[in-house]
Amino acid sequence: MTGLSTLDWWVIGVYLTGLIGFGWWLSRSQESAEDYFLGARARGPWSIALSILATQCSTNSILGAPAFVAFVAGGGLIWLQYELAVPLAMIVLITLVFPTLYRAGGFSIYEFLEHRFDRATRVWLSGIFQIARVLAAAVTIYGVASIIALITGLTFFQSVLIFGLVTVIYDYFGGINGVIFSDVLQMTVLVTVLIWVFATMWGGDANPFESLVSSEPERAVIIDFASHGLGDGKDFAFWPMLFGGSFLYVAYYGLDQSQAQRLLTASSEGVGKKALFLNGTLRLPLVCLYCAIGVGLAHYAAMDASFISRLPEGASGPDFNMALPRYMIDTFAAGWLGLAMVALLAAAMSSLDSVLNALSATTVSDFLMPSRWGKRQAGSRWIGIAKLTTLVWGLIAMVLAFWVDDISSSILVAINKIGSLFNGPILGVFACALLTTSVTGMAVRAGLVAGFLANVYAWIYLPEVSWLWWNVLGAIVCFTTAMIGSAVAPSRSVNSDSAYSMIRALPIAAIGLSAALFAYFALMLLLFYLM
């Protein structure tokens, strides 16, 4: 039975129709593939930062973080430790990584790897990005389609079609400008609804945090210095979340096309750095908000004995990822439930649209344009080809959504596990490109394979080691293997003249932003420790 009224359907319908119309309107100013993928490099810091933030505040996070805090075994407010890694990662990106990639030009960050190594390395990394991101997109579609089915009474198949097609259509028309501007709108709607949810949970006489402390005190712990995640079975201890998280965030924010592409739309290098700074400071308060909602959910479930039984069944029991939508159905009035539905759709769309545009960008830039067929195409044809590849990737992700299995009891953990298999080795490749002049393309590809296999081995045979350490393990194995391989079999084909060192990329102007981010990290660490 549907939980939506006629008013709710009108709210949802107007929003989705508006997005499609907005995407079509933006398409009128597109004249080239560069316009479609980079928006003529004219974006300011706030729009870029909010777009990146919206992508991070996805349905996977909106569903997964509250579920992790309230219900998932081993979970709780300890997830906030993970966010301490964000400002540290932003320091590395601002001072070392982003300037190099921005100066390299192009609309695929993997083009830089061809200048430093060879074409094969560029193709490999671009291909890995495409595999990893289309799988992550499928998980996103799966998660939001499950919400739609729960709230509306539609079938899962119908839900996938509605959500997937709307996102693909406005992304098809709007390109990167459509992604950024819709993300800003979606972020506004999402934060408004989250604040309202928080107010309804925390506005009564009872204190949800005190309730959590009294009933499950282990879930109220934020900092866990005692565990290390290296065989103790503690996935979410402080050290793996800080170090593993830092490696993950450097790889994701700076070396993942879906994130880096927004940075490449900046009107200048300084604007991109400011956007990274804003993201590094604004993300934590947002995560605190939906973790507080998780505390509220735990309190609500404790007060309503039948709440858990009303959740849909997953593969291993109640699907806790559906706890927040269930709460909305139970408590929101007509109109507000429709707006809440819009917010959840917005969270998912802000992630999916970025991924689809990035998948199209890498396909066009890294595979089609350099091919013999691509070299024969007129420049005016590429915008049509770019739109077509966006459509194709969207359809592939929709199909894959039907085969998403329970990788984990939490969507949040599932999406991070998929990323952690790849992030470390990818970071190792770029570290070789940025820090060395002697590593060869063949050696760095061998390192990439070795790093990935090391992570797969850890997943299968070392289950007691936190998956967060995979990000560190993969990077170290990749870098070490590449260095040894290049020393054993040096090559004269190394393009040392085009190798970009991190020291060379370090601008004095970035020191102030970095110092501010480190101070922010230290302050948050102190506050979490004292709570």
Chain mean pLDDT for the chain: 85
Q: Kindly state the average pLDDT of the residues 358-362.
A: 93
Statement: residue 451 has pLDDT above 90: yes
C-beta neighbour count of 453 within 10 angstroms: 13
> What is the predicted pLDDT for the residue at 87?
94
Q: Which of 432, 431, 424 is nearest to 452 (CA)?
A: 424
> What is the predicted pLDDT for the residue at 345?
84
Phi, psi of 340 (to 5 degrees): -65, -40
The two three-digit tokens of residue 4, written as one number: 């939506």
> What is the predicted pLDDT for the residue at 476?
97
CA angle 244–135–347, rounded 5-degree value: 80
pLDDT band at 503 (very low <50, low <70, confident <90, very high): very low
Instruction: Answer with the residue of higher pLDDT: 450 or 381.
Output: 450
pLDDT band at 75 (very low <50, low <70, confident <90, very high): confident
pLDDT band at 436 (very low <50, low <70, confident <90, very high): confident
Query: pLDDT by residue (tens digit) across 207-265?
Result: 888 888 888 888 888 888 888 888 887 888 899 999 999 999 999 899 999 889 999 99
Percent of the chain whose predicted confidence (pLDDT) is above 70: 92
Q: Kindly state the average pLDDT of the residues 354-378.
A: 88
The two three-digit tokens of residue 355, written as one number: 């991924």
pLDDT band at 409 (very low <50, low <70, confident <90, very high): very low
Statement: residue 132 has pLDDT above 80: yes
Statement: residue 431 has pLDDT above 80: yes
What is the rounded CA–CA span in Å between residue 171 and residue 24? 9
Phi, psi of 311 (to 5 degrees): -75, 145
Is residue 194 within 8 A of residue 343, CB to CB? The reply is: yes
pTM, to two decimals = 0.88
Q: Which of 216, 286, 213 is nearest to 53 (CA)?
A: 286
H/E stretch holding 489 reads none
What is the rounded CA–CA span in Å between residue 64 and residue 336? 22
Residue 318 bridge partners (DSSP):
313
CA angle 498–97–414, rounded 5-degree value: 125
What is the rounded CA–CA span in Å between residue 528 and residue 287? 13
CA distances from 46 to 2, 51, 68, 93, 247 (A): 38, 8, 30, 17, 25
What is the rounded CA–CA span in Å between residue 192 and residue 200? 13
What lies within 8 Å, CB to CB, of 444 at 6+ separation is 117, 121, 429, 432, 433, 478, 482
pLDDT band at 506 (very low <50, low <70, confident <90, very high): low
Phi, psi of 230 (to 5 degrees): -110, 55
> What is the predicted pLDDT for the residue at 410?
53
Query: pLDDT by residue (tens digit) across 462-500?
Result: 988 888 899 999 999 999 999 999 988 766 554 544 444
Phi, psi of 314 (to 5 degrees): -100, -165
Query: pLDDT by residue (tens digit) across 89-111?
Result: 999 999 888 988 888 888 899 99
What is the rounded CA–CA span in Å between residue 261 and residue 357? 9
In angstroms, how far is CA 392 from the centroid of its own chain? Answer: 21
pLDDT band at 144 (very low <50, low <70, confident <90, very high): confident
* H helix and E strand count, the chain: 23, 2
The two three-digit tokens of residue 195, written as one number: 């604040």
> What is the predicted pLDDT for the residue at 415?
66
What lies within 8 Å, CB to CB, of 446 at 6+ separation is 481, 482, 485
In the chain the domains, ranked by start, together with CATH numbers, are 6-530 (1.20.1730.10)
Phi, psi of 315 (to 5 degrees): -70, -30
Instruction: Answer with the residue of higher pLDDT: 60 or 334.
Output: 334
What is the rounded CA–CA span in Å between residue 91 and residue 375? 39
**Long-range pairs for 278-282: beta carbons < 8 A, 24 or more residues apart:** 278/45, 278/46, 278/49, 279/49, 279/52, 279/53, 279/56, 279/86, 279/90, 279/253, 280/86, 280/87, 280/89, 280/90, 280/91, 280/517, 280/520, 281/87, 281/517, 281/520, 282/49, 282/53
The two three-digit tokens of residue 315, written as one number: 């593969």
Instruction: Answer with the residue of higher pLDDT: 178 or 300.
Output: 300
Statement: residue 346 has pLDDT above 60: yes
Query: pLDDT by residue (tens digit) across 188-220?
Result: 888 898 999 999 999 877 888 888 888 888 888
